[in-house]
Chain A
Amino acid sequence: MAPQPQPTSVFVLDNGASEIKAGLASSPSPTIYPNAITRSRDRRVFIADELYTQCKDFSGLVYRRPYEKGHLTNWESEKVIWDRVIYGDGSSSSDGVRPEETAFILGEPSAQLPVCSANTDQIVFEEYGFATYFRCPSAFLVHENDHNEALYQTEEETDAQPLAESTKKNTKLLKSDTTLVIDSGYSATVVTPIIENKVYHAGIKRLNIGGKLLRNYLKETISYRHYNMMDESYIVNEIKEHCCYVSTKFAADLEICKKFSLAKNPLAIEYVLPRASASGFRAGHVRTKSEASEPDDQILVLANERFSIPEVLFHPSDIDIAQAGVPEIIAQSLNTIPDRDVRNLLLANTVFVGGSTKFEGFKERVSSELQALTPDDAFLRLGFPDDPITYAWQGGARLGQQKARLRSLQVTKKEYMEYGSNICLQKFGRPAKDDREL
């Protein structure tokens, strides 16, 4: 048998349900692809990033996603998307990856259905034929990123005790082998504890609220109160990103919206809906005070919708979802860990990633509520990366540069051919029972 060629490069792919973050570990940042096949109103079909390069009119866009509720179920569609991500767009200038010479690092959502992960393993080796392969929850890639001091720095110190002081007192808690990752993604918000460089499966907690549900809830609300926008997923998602925020004083904001008419409400904003015209598609935007309105502008005025929508992350019961909000599911996750010292370690090394953490006010709200739920003497150090979308990929790239460490985690093509898919489940999968004593 010919000797196995050593992989010459490392390709990192963070396979999110909404967006794929992918690129060579040696590149400074990943390329972001929509993990979807989309169809516009004029029935043109776009694979992944073709949406941004070829689509002109985003109204009435419909999606087909390989993911269903956070589980990768459909390989018929994921295959054509991965082909673009891995091989490039087929133009001669593109630098596609040659899988047989490449080490592959894959991040998947936490708590995948095991059969979905096994299917992925099969595709990676039998269809693409990567030289070596390591699969883990994206939360583990987040953990692999170096959480330097800047991550945890807050702009204004609200605490009486300055952070630097308290950090000094708690240096023994600053461990790099333990991280609590909260990923508020597209399909769900998942808390994943990583203890001594291992995912602690018994502590994973999933709240079924993510960007998709928030978008649909906003869509439902706008359609009920203003215009029918039920078919406008793309546009409503833009509105959500531009207009919504997490209120740090929900009751007071609600009173303001009750007290003032829309015209006088300081919290109300006007959103100019996008428009398709002969001259092309004009994107929607928040209208500024000074902006003159054009006669055929369609204006959507949003008031309490701005903060009531993201509020369900904190109070799922507002829309009858019988689960606890984000700060409470963090507490639920910690409660599965019997050792108090480990809990304190996790609290001192907590990182928030995912698109829904980008709401203005999310950080302040989650910090104050988590403070209230944890013991007085617990030292909370919450990290909010500048770019919560690519933070996991950056961690994967960092792992890709540690050759020896990666070698201890990965499965080679030769091993796969010899032992079959069981070797992947054994090396990456969760043990049948968590045998580690905590």
Chain B
Amino acid sequence: MPLVEIIASGSTAGVKKAGVGRKRAVAANHPANAKPADSAVVKRAIARRIADLERENYNDAVKIDIPKRQGGSSSGAGPSVSGRTPGVRKLLQSKKVLQNLVDEDEAGASEVAAVMAGASLYPARKICSVCGYWGPITCVRCRARYCSMACEDTHRETRCLKVYA
């Protein structure tokens, strides 16, 4: 059995299908009617994509419970559960995620923010978002790059932000 299935047009950017009529969608997709997205929308889309690239699993809702092993295997050699200090017990049950810890510790969070590398001194390059070649043309609607009319079409059909006025 093949592990992966071929998909028709690979939109993976998680673009939300807007719930509007087909006619209106077609009209909005026509380049003549394209409305430029405002910069806040574009910024949000970029931030969302970077967050997606940092994910551990594509399906973020995946939950794996700690398997209970009977008879000594992994936890048998450790101290008995009853001998644990309250602090450790709390820590082992903690469901806090990074955001909680950052919110609780302002000084620590600012230290962590201070080590982030700054922006480059050089201008960003222009890479086609479809095929990976140089992309001198900018999509008027979503600011993505592409290199040719073929890539432009693919871009519009798949990834371009669906922004409706």
Q: Which residues of A contact B46 (CB under 8 A)?
A: 320
Q: Is A128 a contact of B64 with CB atoms below 8 Å?
A: no
Q: Which residues of B contact A320 (CB under 8 A)?
A: 46, 49-50, 124
Q: Which residues of A contact B50 (CB under 8 A)?
A: 319-321
Tally of contact residues, B, Cβ under 8 A: 74
Instruction: Say whether A204 faces chain B, with CB atoms less than 8 Å apart.
Output: yes
Q: Which residues of A contact B27 (CB under 8 A)?
A: none
Q: Which residues of A contact B124 (CB under 8 A)?
A: 315, 317-318, 320
Q: Which residues of A contact B78 (CB under 8 A)?
A: 83, 87, 127-128
Q: Which residues of A contact B52 (CB under 8 A)?
A: 216, 220
Specify which of A110, A127, A305, A318 is in contact with B125 (CB 8 Å cutoff).
A318
Q: Mark A205-249, 1 if CB is under 8 A from B, else 0.
A: 111100011001101110111111111110100000000000000
Instruction: Say whether B57 faces chain A, with CB atoms less than 8 Å apart.
Output: yes
**When chains A and B are docked, how far (Å) is the Cα of A39 from the Cα of B57?**
11
For the complex with contacts A127-B78, A127-B79, A233-B57, 17 further pairs of A-B residues with Cβ separation under 8 Å are A62-B64, A64-B56, A64-B63, A73-B97, A74-B97, A75-B92, A87-B78, A113-B108, A190-B115, A191-B117, A212-B54, A220-B12, A224-B11, A224-B158, A232-B3, A316-B120, A320-B49
Q: Is B6 a contact of A304 with CB atoms below 8 Å?
A: no
Closest CB of chain B to A55's CB: distance in Å? 14
**When chains A and B are docked, how far (Å) is the Cα of A205 from the Cα of B119?**
12
**When chains A and B are docked, how far (Å) is the Cα of A304 from the Cα of B120?**
24
Given A64-B64, A68-B97, check contact A225 B10 (CB 8 Å): yes
Q: Which parts of B70-100 form the interface with A (CB within 8 Å)?
A: 72-79, 84-85, 87-88, 91-98
Specify which of A233, A296, A308, A324 is in contact with B119 (CB 8 Å cutoff).
A324
Q: Which parts of B32-60 form the interface with A (CB within 8 Å)?
A: 46, 49-50, 52-59
Q: Is A62 a contact of B59 with CB atoms below 8 Å?
A: yes
Q: Is A275 a contact of B98 with CB atoms below 8 Å?
A: no
Closest CB of chain B to A105's CB: distance in Å? 20
Instruction: Say whether A410 faces chain B, with CB atoms less than 8 Å apart.
Output: no
Q: Which residues of B contact A217 (CB under 8 A)?
A: 53
Stretch at the interface among A115-123, A161-169, A397-405: A115-123
Closest CB of chain B to A353's CB: distance in Å? 18
Q: Mark B96-119, 1 if CB is under 8 A from A, else 0.
A: 111001101101110110011111
Given A96-B77, A224-B158, A308-B132, check contact A77 B59 (CB 8 Å): no
Q: Mark A247-262, 1 if CB is under 8 A from B, else 0.
A: 0000000100110000
Closest chain B residue, CB of each to CB of A233: B57
Closest chain B residue, CB of each to CB of A39: B64
Given A39-B64, A71-B101, A206-B116, check contact A258 B133 (CB 8 Å): yes
Closest chain B residue, CB of each to CB of A215: B53
Q: Which residues of A contact B102 (CB under 8 A)?
A: 113
The majority secondary structure among interface residues of chain A is mixed
Q: Which residues of A contact B5 (CB under 8 A)?
A: 227-228
Q: Which residues of B contact A128 (CB under 8 A)?
A: 78
Q: Mark A265-306, 1 if CB is under 8 A from B, else 0.
A: 000000001111100000000000000000010100000110
Q: Is B53 a contact of A229 with CB atoms below 8 Å?
A: no
Instruction: Say whether A415 faces chain B, with CB atoms less than 8 Å apart.
Output: no
Q: Which residues of B contact A173 (CB under 8 A)?
A: none
Instruction: Say whether B19 faces chain A, with CB atoms less than 8 Å apart.
Output: no
**When chains A and B are docked, how far (Å) is the Cα of A316 from the Cα of B122?**
11
**When chains A and B are docked, how far (Å) is the Cα of A344 from the Cα of B84?**
50
Q: Is B55 a contact of A235 with CB atoms below 8 Å?
A: no
Closest CB of chain B to A334's CB: distance in Å? 12
Instruction: Say whether B134 faces chain A, with CB atoms less than 8 Å apart.
Output: yes
Q: Which residues of B contact A322 (CB under 8 A)?
A: 119
Instruction: Say whether B1 faces chain A, with CB atoms less than 8 Å apart.
Output: yes
**When chains A and B are docked, how far (Å) is the Cα of A219 from the Cα of B4?**
12
Q: Is B120 a contact of A80 with CB atoms below 8 Å?
A: no
Q: Which residues of B contact A229 (CB under 8 A)?
A: 4
Q: Mark B119-138, 1 if CB is under 8 A from A, else 0.
A: 11100110100111110000
Given A59-B3, A227-B4, A320-B49, check contact A76 B57 (CB 8 Å): no
Given A75-B92, A90-B74, check contact A276 B118 (CB 8 Å): no
User: Can you list 29 A-B pairs, Cβ within 8 angstroms, ordered by A?
Assistant: A39-B62, A39-B64, A45-B67, A47-B67, A59-B3, A62-B62, A75-B94, A90-B72, A96-B77, A114-B105, A126-B87, A126-B88, A204-B115, A205-B117, A216-B55, A224-B10, A225-B10, A226-B10, A228-B7, A228-B10, A230-B12, A231-B57, A233-B56, A233-B57, A257-B132, A275-B1, A308-B132, A319-B50, A329-B117
Closest CB of chain B to A60's CB: distance in Å? 8
Q: Is A323 a contact of B119 with CB atoms below 8 Å?
A: yes
Instruction: Say whether A328 faces chain B, with CB atoms less than 8 Å apart.
Output: yes
Instruction: Say whether A363 faces chain B, with CB atoms less than 8 Å apart.
Output: no
Instruction: Say whether B66 faces chain A, with CB atoms less than 8 Å apart.
Output: yes
Closest chain A residue, CB of each to CB of B147: A258
Q: Which residues of A contact B97 (CB under 8 A)?
A: 68, 73-74
Q: Which residues of A contact B72 (CB under 8 A)?
A: 90
**When chains A and B are docked, how far (Å) is the Cα of A366 from the Cα of B4?**
36
Specify which of B2, B77, B118 is in contact with A275 (CB 8 Å cutoff).
B2
Closest CB of chain B to A76's CB: distance in Å? 6
**When chains A and B are docked, how far (Å) is the Cα of A328 from the Cα of B117?**
9
